[in-house]
Amino acid sequence: MAKLIRLMVTAAAVSLVSPVWAQDASKSPPPRIVTKTLVASEAQKECLSLNNRQRLHYKFRADGPLNFKVSHQEEKEIIDFKRDGTESASGSFMPRKSADYCLVWTNAGKRSVTLRYEYQRASQ
């Protein structure tokens, strides 16, 4: 009898937890993954709206050095984060205010560079 009760309690606990997992998964869309080859002096730009209660997770890898920045536009471009001459990076960005933010990769070199990146918007 004790085993049956334990089994029923475990099944009830699992049935209560499962919908929560499903809800958490539905709150954040899956990461967007992109592969792009940038020729000399070409840039790749991904823009999205973020509010000050969201976080942007990003990571990228390239087969050559790129300049990378996260920026937003007011009267002029405001650079929130910048890294030059890098082949990879990952991190999270938390905006101070609601705005449209852009991830920008620029190939300042003379040869083509293949870039693979992903990003995902999430709540803080």
User: What would the pLDDT profile of 100-123 be if each residue is shown by its tens digit?
Assistant: 999 999 999 999 999 999 999 998
Q: How far apart are CA 62 and CA 59, in angstroms?
A: 11
Domain ranges within the chain, ordered by starting residue: 32-123
What gap in Å lies between CA 38 and CA 122, rounded to an integer?
Answer: 28
CA distance 30 to 57: 11
Contact 105, 68 (CB under 8 A): yes
Q: Is 24 a residue whose pLDDT tops 70?
A: no
Hunting for tokens 């929130």 — which residue is that? Answer: 80
Which CATH class name applies to 32-123?
A: mainly beta
**Each residue of 33-85: pLDDT tens digit?**
999 999 999 999 999 999 999 999 999 999 999 999 999 999 999 999 999 99
> What is the pTM for the complete model shown?
0.75
Q: Give the pLDDT score at 123.
A: 86
Structure-model confidence comparison of residues 105 and 11, the more confident one: 105
Residue 18, C-beta contacts closer than 8 angstroms, at least 6 positions apart: none
